[in-house]
Structure 1
Amino acid sequence: MTASLLQINPLENAPLGAKVTLPSDVTDPSKLREEDFQTLLRALKTYQVLVIPGQKNLSPKSQYELTKRCDPTCQGNYGHSKEFRHEKSVLRADGVTVPTQPQVQVLGQGHHHEHEGMMLIDLKHPSHVTFHKDPLSIEEIAKGDTRYYRWHIDSALYGLSPPVVTTLLGINCPNPEKRQRIRYDDGSGHTKNSAQAATAFISGENAFNLLSDEDKELALGAIVEYAPHPYIFISNAKAHSTGLTMISENKELSFDELPPWEPSKVKRLPMVWTNPVTGKHHLQIHGACVYKIETADGKVYTLEKARELTYRLMRPAIDPENVYTHDWNEGDLVMFHNQGVWHSVTGEFDDKGKRLMHQCNIASGFDPVCRKD
């Protein structure tokens, strides 16, 4: 019997993304034939976000194999958990590790029993209330209001290169009919409606295209330097209401207060990364962790000014019409091109809320590059 072909269809009424339908004889996307897998990989780097429904029973091993297959250079580069789980890291409470497949993290909300060999998991969904300088009130949250928690690129940003792809699997999801209103609270009046705890994505290509010609030239020649152990460095700081960057109040840890670090492991990355499939430029900055920006003409923006420049360049890209919010259904496997998009957690849960997800991303063997030709 001849199997059906892999189908890729752009998401309807969305600024980026596509839905994937697997061939009829394939239930596990990590087992795709090489020709179909290459089609999937090209689609990932073209559409930036891929949604594969019906994967609730995908094993952590298969999720790891699929993630690794997208970037063979990442094998052996897993090692960010120690950095992320440090007691002072802002990421310390974000999930637990699957014992049999340590490259896969369990994320979510609430108490979960007997999952992947763990008798009890107590998960806490990240909330802007603990991260933003001026969070919404209890009353506003009760009405269904929320924020973008933190726009970011998945990466340790110290010693390890940013992953090429992240895979997210929705196992236990809130009812997508329960809605929320994402507020910007930056004077723009902007809001965006989505399902509770939707994951938000924007295209770095679109972010670059929205820049003025002058800012495109600046971005193409700029280098972003991240702080050593950046998630520990910002542990006492608070974020802007849009989730784009941090508020400068001199609350960052001094370098002497950080765990031991090596200058050679400090990440200095191009502000613009070139898509290897499309050749397009993507504005790719982790706004929360920016420490310094150097431009081609020799100008240096240190912490506060670097954040101001970052915010100015990034802000147009998160206007509501540019954001794709994925409203999760159980079994959705979302693959996103981590070197081509930014994403953010959204939403709040009460004490009775439940959510369970598996996430996998592994540091690439190489830093992304900017090709100006």
Structure 2
Amino acid sequence: MSGTLPVIEPVSPAIGARVTGLDLSQDVSDQAWKTVQDAFHQYNVLVFPGQDISVEQQKSFTARFGPLMTHSHLLPMTVEGHPEVMVLHNNEQKPPGLNDWHTDNSGWSEPPLGTSLYAKVTPKVGGDTLYGNMYLAYETLSAPMQELLLQLTATHDVRKAFGPDYGNLQKSLRKKGIDPDQQFAGQDPVEHPLIRTHPETGRRALYISNPYVTRINGVTESESRALLDFLRRHIETNELIYRHRWTQGDLVIWDNRCTQHLAVADYFPHERLMHRLNIAGEKPFLKL
């Protein structure tokens, strides 16, 4: 177990920090973990570069943040013997699927707290991931807009995220023997607040996820479309974003409760291989 404390360095003014001085193949001391935990709540996205870790070591460190999730619909896409570890593998035969801003699995009643992504193989060019600060997305809105959004909820539907709008993703699942239509036929949409309160920091964050959100509730259909279009554009504001250029051995862990991300699908036909873990979360809520 290393007794040295990690060094935390911001990677952008808006979001994210690089964590150096930790070898995640070794046990992390309680003191070092406290430094990491505090940085997670402050910066929302943590980059651990140059890690040489096994599946078990990624699981062990990620589990410090909370219980690991298993997704029944993704089991054929996981590492053998490790149902929590999803393999994200794209190459010439398997183009990247999702190319949209989102927060992971918002179509479930208790979406994941966070995500851990480890770079096994990175493309020669492209394949960056953009991360957006949803605290700032809320805080940079005008007071009247904030007041409006605090009153509203949105409907999130798993069937939209795995439907025809995302053809490459649907095709990838079918190749693994997963029929999205059958898998999610009985899964009802869920309702989440448009603005959620972070249970650890108490701060408010914008909470939408384009692949999952079907409408904003409590307003007309045309008003819902206009609001969603505005919020989607707002999320893309450069001042909210950090762009991560992956290097083999990078481990990135982010907080889904106050961030969105976009995996840029610009690297086809190059290979990209990642191991992904989700950390169990709670039902989103708004504290007024």
* Band of TM-score, shorter chain: 0.7 to 0.9
For 2:15, give the aligned amino acid: L
CA–CA distance in 2 between the matches of 1:27 and 1:199? 22
> Paired residue for 1:44, among 21, 40, 43?
40
SS in 1 for 2:165: coil
SS in 2 for 1:45: helix
For 2:110, give the aligned amino acid: S
For 1:154, give the aligned amino acid: D
Q: Is the 8 A contact 1:97 1:105 kept in 2?
A: yes
* 2:125 counterpart of 1:163: no
Shift of 1:305: 4.1
SS in 1 for 2:117: strand
| CA-to-aligned-CA distance 1:159-198 (integer Å, 9 cap, x gap) | x4111110111121124xx4xxxxxxxxxxxxxxxxx110
* 2:257 counterpart of 1:261: no
CA–CA distance in 2 between the matches of 1:174 and 1:343? 19
- Structure 1 moving runs of 4+ over 4 Å: 256-259
2:273 paired residue number: 356
SS in 2 for 1:329: coil
CA–CA distance in 2 between the matches of 1:238 and 1:267? 20
For 2:201, give the aligned amino acid: T
What percent of counterpart residues are identical? 28
Shift of 1:236: 2.7
Q: Is the 8 A contact 2:25 2:54 kept in 1?
A: no
Structure-to-structure mapping, 1:357-372, within 5 angstroms: 357-364=274-281, 366-372=282-288
Closer, same or farther in 2 for the Cα pair 1:291/1:125, shift >3 Å? closer
1:253 paired residue number: none
Q: Is the 8 A contact 2:195 2:206 kept in 1?
A: yes
CA–CA distance in 1 between the matches of 2:225 and 2:183? 21
Closer, same or farther in 2 for the Cα pair 1:27/1:288, shift >3 Å? closer
Closer, same or farther in 2 for the Cα pair 1:41/1:301, shift >3 Å? farther
User: Structure 2, unaligned stretches of length 5 or more?
Assistant: 168-180
Shift of 1:262: 5.3
| CA-to-aligned-CA distance 1:47-99 (integer Å, 9 cap, x gap) | 011100111x312222223233212xx45x523x41x58xxxxxxxxx92111
2:18 paired residue number: 19
Shift of 1:150: 0.4
| CA-to-aligned-CA distance 1:101-159 (integer Å, 9 cap, x gap) | 11111113227xxxxxxxxxx643237xxxxxxxxxxxxxxxxxxxxx2000001513x
* 2:36 counterpart of 1:106: no
SS in 2 for 1:229: helix
Closer, same or farther in 2 for the Cα pair 1:258/1:2, shift >3 Å? closer
Shift of 1:285: 0.5
2:195 paired residue number: 272
Q: Is the 8 A contact 2:4 2:32 kept in 1?
A: no
Larger Rg: 1
Shift of 1:228: 5.5
CA–CA distance in 1 between the matches of 2:158 and 2:120? 34
Given the two structures, how large is their TM-score scaled by the length of structure 2? 0.84
> Paired residue for 2:70, among 78, 101, 112?
78
CA–CA distance in 1 between the matches of 2:165 and 2:24? 45
SS in 2 for 1:37: helix
SS in 1 for 2:47: strand
For 1:201, give the aligned amino acid: Y
Given the two structures, how large is their TM-score scaled by the length of structure 1? 0.66
If asked which structure has higher relative contact order (CA below 8 Å, sep 6+), I would say: 2
Structure-to-structure mapping, 1:1-373, within 5 angstroms: 3-11=3-11, 13-23=12-22, 26-28=23-25, 31-55=27-51, 57-71=52-66, 74-75=67-68, 77-79=69-71, 81-82=72-73, 96-110=77-91, 123-126=94-97, 149-155=99-105, 157-158=107-108, 160-175=109-124, 178=125, 196-227=126-157, 229-232=159-162, 235-237=163-165, 259-261=184-186, 263=188, 266-294=189-217, 299-302=218-221, 305-351=223-269, 353-364=270-281, 366-372=282-288
Q: Is the 8 A contact 2:158 2:212 kept in 1?
A: no
Q: Which has the higher helix share?
A: 2
CA-based RMSD of the aligned residues comes to 2.8
User: Structure 1, unaligned stretches of length 5 or more?
Assistant: 86-94, 112-121, 128-148, 179-195, 240-255
| CA-to-aligned-CA distance 1:309-359 (integer Å, 9 cap, x gap) | 1221232231233321101111111111111100001132344x1221111
SS in 2 for 1:54: coil
SS in 2 for 1:312: helix
Q: Is the 8 A contact 1:170 1:331 kept in 2?
A: yes
For 1:63, give the aligned amino acid: Q
CA–CA distance in 2 between the matches of 1:334 and 1:367? 24
